[in-house]
Structure 1
Amino acid sequence: MTEADDVIEIENQDELELTAHPHQMGTDTQIRIAKEQSSIFELLRKESRGDLVLAPDFQRKNVWDRKHQSELIESILMGIPIPLIYLFEDEEGVRQIIDGKQRITALKQFKNNKFTLTNLSMLPDLKGKKFDDIPPILQAKLEDYQLHSYVIQPPTPEYVKFNIFERVNRGGINLNKQEMRHALYQGKATTLIQELAESQQFKLATGNGVKPNRMRDRYLVLRFVAFYLLITNQFTDSSVQYRSDVDSFLASVMKYINTKASAQLIEHAKSVCLYGMESVYQVLGDEAFRFKPKAGGNKRPVNMGLFEMLVFAFCYVQPDQLDHSKAKSLVDTYKQNVDDEGLFSGSIDTSENVRARFDTAQKIAQGLKNA
């Protein structure tokens, strides 16, 4: 593998970037944002009970070091105000920290004696001390310190949550939409797509051409699972619909998996995706999800549309019953036609393009069975 291959990203990467949302808020849009305050002791108690969930890190290198953590503790003990915390509350009343995770993590670790204070400029006498080592009056001061927060509550629409999330994160790392979904919809859905993205089947089928940085790998498998369940009519209510808005669609799918999907449906989606990827690899090898290079051009990236189309097609066939040479020739013909027609260039997520993609997948599946 060349150095160039090692940094290959998903084609159509613009689908991953933050853009203005197509929705326009109407007069009937309900947005509920409550301003609250609670002591550090109360907040950590909620976290220990599972009523408050710390959102995951997106990039490990941004985790606070001990100096930053110690400065936070010092500021609180001096009575200096710290920035607002933003929380999202789901329909079950569980809250998730979206902005303020590093602060709460530092407080939790210090309260649990996980680190000693260092690099203190204003309270040098506390250097080298853990929570249990500082005077009881300071322990009480820390626990009683009031944290101010904004709580985004139901029924605030998902696209409004995304907009708020983008705004509060502008001061730090610019999150892409999959990272935002990963933070907002922790649960069975994030576990499922993590298992698929880290599977041997995914790595082999993509030739390790989709790197996990910025969650591009998880975005790819989430799209397949979501569209597979949609196309095969496996959603049991109207909470999941597709109207050419892939972000709202993927958000609704993750919520559905977390709250309404049966264990059997989740396992089915997982096994179908794994089987489809393994079948693709057995028959087509690790270049299946790439179009042929343009004349005189370099190796092309893994393509999202090809991934969805081919995994869908191959989850309906049995590789050991195929003539691999004929199957590869058939698929190559379809791929060339799709590439020539530009079906997967530009916006691939209009309702029309989604239907065309999976209609083609079904034709490929039928052609493989008849080959």
Structure 2
Amino acid sequence: MSDSTTAPEARLVQDMIPVELDETGFSTGVEREDIGERIDSPFDPDLIEVQTRNPTVGLLLNRIRRGTIDLAPDFQRRAGIWTLKAQSRLIESLLLRITLPTLYAAEGEDDTWAIVDGIQRLSTIARFVAPEDIDSEPLRLTGLEYLTEFNGYVFTDLPGRLQTRIEETELVVLLIRRGTPEEVKFNIFARINTGGRALTRQELRHALIPGPARAFLADLARSDAFRRATGESVSPERMSDREMCLRFLAFTLTPPDAYASGDFDDFLRKAMHQVNDADSHERDALRERFLKAMDAGSAVFGEHAFRKRFRGTGRRSPVNKALFEAQSVTLSGYTTPEIELLAARRAQVEEGFLGLMEDAAFFNAVSAGTGDIGKVRLRFRLLDEMFREVLSA
């Protein structure tokens, strides 16, 4: 980008911004990111322990009952993705002895399993056989293709032999053992395609790092302040909204000048563990700072908060994750009078930001290789300098 960029050229650049897609192929309202991650050293294959298990449905339900299977119910294909007909057809497959796809799980402490792929399948089986174990209404079969005589049935309506058939059905579980390093687990699961698509990094973090951070991130993403600041344009599908909230927390807990990872995914995983380890007072303080940042973003940038802006076009770009973290964390460090002054001088802020977008180094820092240490520090520094110039004008 440069000062000589014309309005048509700006619109062309804006039109070429790629976006993330949800389950159905529609835009999530978030710019697709080139984070520029790399593996600095190869994994030691001796540290990777993967086992294939063949537990019966009954054994898996016992694990759910005892709390040793973590279904992370709002992860991946959440409630409502599968229709009653689709769930019923899965039960019909069990009755017809049709083999189900492999379940993928990671072993945690105390022999717990976190299901990474297969949550909807396992939840459907539990809803049919033992709905009380997952606090669900019983699944009543509908739309069966072959065993139509069982339409309208719940589990207890089936003949005893068919109940036994389901309970004794063996499922295939690929289990990543507890001793496997966390970064290796993430690398393995990142290679798994589910339903023809790869899991997002935040979906993996949600599945493999249980604890209070899950609900905390969901709470932040559902807040009125976040939705208002992002123009309610960020879809919760694929958990992009929660990842943005996590990025704010990560750079609040570890200031940009102290960011020295280079492995951005590892940086975010560590932040999620930090949130898990925080006490309720610390999380409350983080929540207050986050909400303040969202209100500040709305006040200072209006409908263009956390988005690229181009001179010569008033169109709104998708939310950019790198800008989200840089703008929100930087603004959260200012006093209320300073934020009010920036909001009062919004025209000057806009002009300053347009100037940054025409700076090739800044544009590159929010567009490509965004996890690079130098680019992270540069985008935070230049934004802060721009705000300070407006404040001192």
SS in 1 for 2:261: coil
1:241-280 equivalence runs, <5 A: 242-258=260-276, 260-280=277-297
Displacement of 1:52: 0.5
Residue 39 of structure 1 and its aligned partner are, at CA, apart by 2.2
**What secondary structure does 2:358 align onto?**
helix
- Supply the distance in 1 between the matched residues of 2:342 and 2:145 (Cα, whole angstroms): 69
Q: 1:172 to 1:319 in 2, by over 3 A?
A: same
Q: Distance in 2 between matches of 1:73 and 1:210?
A: 34
1:51 — aligned with what?
A: 68
1:295 to 312, 324, 332: 312
Task: Answer yes or no: is 1:115 the counterpart of 2:139.
Answer: yes
Give SS of 1:323's match. helix
Tell me if the contact between 2:141 and 2:152 (Cα under 8 Å) persists in the aligned partners.
Answer: yes
1:121, distance to aligned residue in structure 2 (A):
5.2
Q: Is 2:88–2:142's contact at 8 Å kept on the other side of the alignment?
A: yes
Deviations 1:260-283 (CA, angstroms, capped at 9, x unpaired):
222222222221111122123234
Q: Summarize the alignment of residues 112-261 of structure 1 with structure 2, pairs less than 5 Å apart.
A: 112=130, 114-120=138-144, 123-231=147-255, 242-258=260-276, 260-261=277-278
Shift of 1:37: 2.5
1:355 corresponds to 2:377: yes
Contact 1:67 1:119 in 2 (8 A): yes
1:102-122 residue CA offsets vs partner (Å, 9 max, x unmatched): 321221111137133345455
Equivalent residue in structure 2 for 1:90, among 104, 108, 125:
108
Q: What's the RMSD between the two structures over aligned residues?
A: 3.4
Overall identity of the aligned pairs, in % = 31
How many residues align structurally?
357
Indicate the larger mover: 319-328 or 138-147. Answer: 319-328
Q: Does 1:10 align with 2:34?
A: no
Task: Report the 3-state secondary structure (helix = DSSP H, G, I; strand = E; otherwise coil) of the residue aligned with 1:302.
Answer: coil
Aligned to 1:38: 55
| Residue type at the aligned position of 2:222 | E
TM-score by length of 1: 0.81
**C-alpha spacing 1:39/1:211, structure 2 compared with 1 (3 Å):** closer
Identify if the C-alpha distance between structure 1 residues 194 and 70 changes in structure 2 by more than 3 Å, giving closer, same or farther.
Answer: closer
- Letter in structure 1 aligned against 2:112: V
Assess, with a 3 A threshold, how the Cα gap between structure 1 residues 360 and 72 changes in structure 2: closer, same or farther. Answer: same
Please state whether the residue corresponding to 2:47 is helix, strand or coil. coil
1:339-354 paired onto structure 2 within 5 Å? 339-342=357-360, 343=362, 344-354=366-376
Q: Is the 8 A contact 1:316 1:365 kept in 2?
A: no
Say which is worse superposed, 297-306 or 88-97, in terms of deviation.
297-306
**Matched position secondary structure for 1:9:** strand
Distance 1:228 1:125, change over 3 A: same
Q: What's the offset of the Cα at 1:153? A: 2.0
Task: Write out per-residue CA displacement over residues 42-90 of structure 1, whole angstroms, 9 at most, x where no aligned residue.
Answer: 2112112221021435355983334443343344334443332211122
Question: Which stretch of the first structure deviates more once superposed, 316-325 or 215-224?
Answer: 316-325
Distance (Å, rounded) in 2 between the aligned partners of 1:232 and 1:265:
20
Report if the CA contact (8 A) 2:117-2:194 is conserved. Answer: no
1-structure distance, mates of 2:324, 2:149: 59
State the Cα distance separating 1:232 from its structure 2 match. 7.9
- Quick check: 2:217–2:245 contact (8 Å CA) kept in 1? yes
Give a deviation string over 1:322-349, Cα, whole Å, max 9, x none: 4346643553454234312231232222
Residue type matched to 1:182 in 2?
Answer: H
Name the amino acid aligned to 1:197: A
Given that residues 309 and 360 in structure 1 are in contact (C-alpha distance below 8 angstroms), is that contact kept between their aligned partners in structure 2?
no
Identify the residue that residue 104 of structure 1 maps to in structure 2.
122
Residue deviations 1:161-209 (CA, integer Å, cap 9, x gap):
2333244325434433223333333432222222222211112222334
Shift of 1:28: 6.4
Contact 1:279 1:318 in 2 (8 A): no
Alpha carbons of structure 1 residues 224 and 167: separation in structure 2 relative to 1, 3 Å: same
